[in-house]
């Protein structure tokens, strides 16, 4: 492990004082602040339950409210959009420009209610999650520190490697993926909410791991998941391919720290590296399979091309790249650009701080895979997984194979 920076090292708490801090077990830390333990209420399957019923019920409430917004309120807003478009002589099934959609739809009270209820709920969710983790800083931090050097897998942290673009607060997550020590905790419980409460047991990631295409010669020694966040797909991949050496890579140090802790807790032998996907540091031809899930739409176009080329470099001949994202097919979004989709795209970009949403949609993803030297198979195993992963039009519709 290269190094781990946290509040204690930042404060210069080294030597005996630092050691005293680091020796705290989560149980001792919890006792000091009057909490029974980090996991006083055990687990629900593989999900560590939140420490109090009060907080857990808040979390359930915000998840259910999101489900309501994503179903009933969405439908009401969509009906409204159809009416407004028709009243303006437009066919709701046909494409409209972003400018027209924003102009006609963004000030309608029902559409606005949908958009702002969604946005405020998200802000409130982050605030409450963050308050829980920071109110109990030592308890949660001690638990993570206790796992840092434990196995079975390894954790590699490389301080100071984050380029500016990775510091952006996508989804309004405070501190983003790189700037908050509890980014992994926040992201895991936050995305339980994003996924409408349907990923508590990593169902989405298990479905994705099941759908990963394998090299035609059947040899699978090493697998990498790029932009792995809290490592759910990494664990699912190890379960499908128990004999393989499985790695997760992410530019968020707190993300891989949390991922590692979770894998240690679960006793799963997987490894995590804090690195840029476009500069992974792995040798040429090291992997048989490289995956990424929801990475590309969150990075600039140039970085997307960098990641594709890096995947090609670290795959061995015959190896497979399986990128799954909100959109990987040039032209698809444009063809589906009805008024309500346009307004949601705009909201996502403007209010959910998806900074590269439009840039990504314009990127020549397939073209770059071909230019990098991959044989591109369109279609992919989408049907098998679409019901599990279909979020914001998540597509498992493409596979790149490095020629043998
Ligand atoms: C939407 S999340 C991905 C979700 C994740 N694959 C999962 O299954 O839960 C995007 C992740 O990509 C990471 N990331 C962003 N840019 C990156 C880069 N250039 N290299 C590696 N990771 C990156 C972020 O830190 C974040 O954890």
Q: Does ligand 1 lie within 6 Å of residue 24's CB atom?
A: no
Residue spans per domain, the chain:
183-401
Look up the CATH number of domain 183-401.
3.40.50.150
pLDDT in tens, 390-404: 544 456 678 899 999
Give me the sign of the Cα torsion angle 62, 65, 69, 71: positive
Q: Does ligand 1 lie within 6 Å of residue 295's CB atom?
A: yes
pLDDT value at 27 more than 60: no
Q: Please give the angle made by the CA atoms of 346, 349 and 355, to the nearest 5 degrees.
A: 150
Residue with tokens 């995956």: 291
Ligand 1 centroid from CA 227, angstroms:
3
The protein residue with its alpha carbon nearest to ligand 1, atom 11, reads 227
Atom of ligand 1 minimally distant from the CA of 229 = 27
At 324 the pLDDT is 87
Sorted by sequence, the CB contacts under 8 Å of residue 388 that are 6+ apart come out as 203, 204, 207, 208
At 75 the pLDDT is 87
Ligand 1 centroid from CA 132, angstroms:
24
pLDDT value at 166 more than 50: yes
d(CA 292, CA 308): 10
| High-pLDDT (> 90) share of the chain, % | 57
d(CA 63, CA 196): 6
d(CA 155, CA 146): 13
At 321 the pLDDT is 96
What is the overall mean pLDDT for the chain?
Answer: 85
Q: Which residue spans within 325-370 are E strands per DSSP? A: none
Q: Does ligand 1 lie within 6 Å of residue 234's CB atom?
A: no
pLDDT value at 383 more than 80: no
With contact defined as beta carbons under 8 Å apart, do 347 and 103 qualify?
A: no
Of 126, 137, 147, 138, the closest CA to residue 258 belongs to 147
pLDDT in tens, 264-293: 999 999 999 999 999 999 999 999 999 999
Of 267, 203, 269, the closest CA to residue 241 belongs to 269
With contact defined as beta carbons under 8 Å apart, do 363 and 377 qualify?
A: no
Q: Does ligand 1 lie within 6 Å of residue 233's CB atom?
A: yes
Confidence of residue 9 (pLDDT cuts 50, 70, 90): very low
Q: Does ligand 1 lie within 6 Å of residue 293's CB atom?
A: yes
Q: Does ligand 1 lie within 6 Å of residue 209's CB atom?
A: no
At 86 the pLDDT is 92
pLDDT value at 333 more than 70: no
Confidence of residue 245 (pLDDT cuts 50, 70, 90): very high
Ligand 1 centroid from CA 45, angstroms:
25
pLDDT in tens, 257-266: 999 999 999 9
Atom of ligand 1 minimally distant from the CA of 277 = 20
Ligand 1 centroid from CA 284, angstroms:
22
Q: Does ligand 1 lie within 6 Å of residue 303's CB atom?
A: yes
Atom of ligand 1 minimally distant from the CA of 165 = 16
pLDDT in tens, 82-130: 899 899 999 877 777 778 888 888 889 998 898 889 889 999 999 999 9
| pTM (global) more than 0.85 | yes
Ligand 1 centroid from CA 296, angstroms:
8
Q: Mutation test of ligand 1: which of 295, 356, 359 has the most ligand atoms closer than 8 Å to its C-beta?
A: 295
The answer to whether the peptide bond before residue 152 is cis (omega within 30 degrees of 0) is yes
Return the higher-pLDDT residue of 189 and 18.
189
């Amino acid at each position: 492990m290269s190094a781990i920076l946290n509040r204690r090292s930042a404060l210069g708490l080294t030597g005996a004082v630092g050691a005293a801090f680091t020796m705290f077990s989560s149980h001792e830390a919890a006792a000091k602040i009057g909490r029974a333990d980090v996991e006083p209420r055990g687990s629900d399957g593989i999900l560590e339950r939140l420490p109090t019923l009060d907080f857990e019920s808040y979390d359930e409430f915000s998840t259910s409210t999101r489900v309501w917004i994503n179903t009933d309120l969405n439908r009401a807003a969509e009906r409204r959009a159809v009416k407004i478009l028709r009243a303006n002589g437009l066919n709701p099934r046909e494409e409209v420009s972003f400018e027209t959609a924003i102009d006609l739809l963004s000030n309608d009270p029902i559409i606005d209610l949908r958009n702002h209820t969604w946005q405020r709920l998200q802000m409130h969710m982050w605030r409450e999650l963050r308050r829980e983790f920071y109110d109990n800083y030592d308890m949660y931090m001690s638990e993570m520190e206790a796992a840092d050097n434990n196995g079975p897998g390894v954790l590699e942290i490389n301080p100071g490697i984050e380029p500016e673009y990775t510091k952006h607060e996508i989804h309004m997550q405070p501190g983003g993926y790189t700037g908050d020590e509890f980014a992994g905790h926040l992201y895991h419980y936050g995305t339980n909410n994003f996924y409408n409460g349907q990923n508590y047991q990593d169902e989405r990631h298990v479905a994705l791991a099941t759908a990963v295409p394998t090299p035609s010669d059947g040899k699978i020694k090493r697998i990498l998941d790029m932009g792995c966040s809290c490592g759910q797909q990494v664990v699912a991949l190890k379960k499908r391919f128990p004999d393989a050496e499985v790695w997760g890579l992410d530019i968020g140090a707190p993300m891989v720290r949390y991922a590692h802790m979770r894998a240690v807790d679960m006793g799963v032998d997987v490894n995590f590296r804090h690195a840029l996907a476009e500069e992974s540091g792995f040798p040429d031809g090291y992997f048989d399979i490289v995956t990424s899930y929801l990475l590309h739409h969150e990075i600039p176009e140039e970085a997307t091309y960098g990641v594709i080329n890096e995947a090609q470099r670290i795959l061995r001949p015959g190896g497979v790249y399986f990128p799954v994202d909100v959109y990987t097919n040039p032209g698809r979004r444009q063809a589906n650009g009805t008024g309500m989709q346009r307004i949601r795209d705009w909201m996502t970009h403007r209010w959910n701080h998806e900074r590269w949403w439009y840039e990504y949609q314009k990127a020549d993803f397939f073209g770059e895979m071909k230019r990098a030297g991959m044989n591109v198979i369109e279609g992919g195993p989408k049907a098998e997984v679409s019901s599990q992963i279909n979020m914001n039009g998540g597509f498992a519709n493409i596979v790149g194979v490095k020629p043998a």
